[in-house]
Amino acid sequence: MSILWVKAFHIAFMVAWFAGIFYLPRLFVYHAESTQNEVHQQLKIMERRLLFFVTPFALLTWLFGLWMMHYYGTSWILVSSWLHLKLVIVILLTGYHVYCFKLLADFKHDRNKRSGRFYRIFNEIPVFALFAIILLAVVKPVLY
């Protein structure tokens, strides 16, 4: 497979992953702010399905990203300081994704103690991550 196909799949899966992690915390906002049991039950189903639907996209984003790194080689990785920062952000974003499983479990077992405001702020984290990742990947600044 040519590197252009690998890049295209990496970007496509990244877009799908971000679509999910943009929407899931929004569901958490609605869940935290609702007082109706029927709404809670419906949101529990939606949250679970969404998180389990987008998790493979996260894994495939990683797979195709690592494939590209392998293609370009160790010497390229060592001199690409922008890539080092991008990887840190993607690792943090992966931690964010994993933390969503904990939040999902809290809602599932009716243990959520956080407000809708917390989830509104939590919902903004992937936006900043996406901007940083795109800027780093496109501009490729020399950071050190």
Relative orientation angle of helices 3-33 and 37-72, to the nearest 10 degrees: 160
The pTM of this model reads 0.94
- Per-residue pLDDT of the chain (144 residues), as tens digits, is 899 999 999 999 999 999 999 999 999 999 999 999 999 999 999 999 999 999 999 999 999 999 999 999 999 999 999 999 999 999 999 999 999 999 999 999 999 999 999 999 999 999 999 999 999 999 999 998
* Cα–Cα distance list, 15 to 3, 61, 90, 106, 110 (Å): 18, 9, 13, 27, 31
DSSP assignment, residue 124? T
